[in-house]
Structure 1
Amino acid sequence: MSFAQDRLELEGSVKGYEGKIKLIFNIVGYNHEVDMDNEDVTYMIDGKFRYEKKLEGPTLLSIRIRPEITENFDPQSFESVFIWVDNKKMTLKAEKGNFEYSDVTGYSRQDDNEKSKNYVGGRLIAYHQNIDSLLKLKTQRLKKKQINLN
Structure 2
Amino acid sequence: MWSAFAAATGGAAAGLTGLTFIVVAFRFDTIALSPEYRNRAGQALTLFLTVVTAAALVTVPQWPRALGAELIVLSAVNAALLLRLDAAARSGQTARTRPALAVALTSFVAGIAASGVLLICGLDLGYYFYAASTILGLTWGVYGAWVFLTQTALPAAG
Is the shorter-chain TM-score for this pair beyond 0.5, marking a shared fold? no
TM-score, normalisation: structure 2:
0.27
Rg comparison, structure with higher value: 1
TM-score, normalised to structure 1's length?
0.28
Q: Which has the higher strand share?
A: 1
Between 1 and 2, higher relative CO (CA 8 Å, sep ≥ 6) is seen in 2
Greater helix fraction, Structure 1 or Structure 2: 2
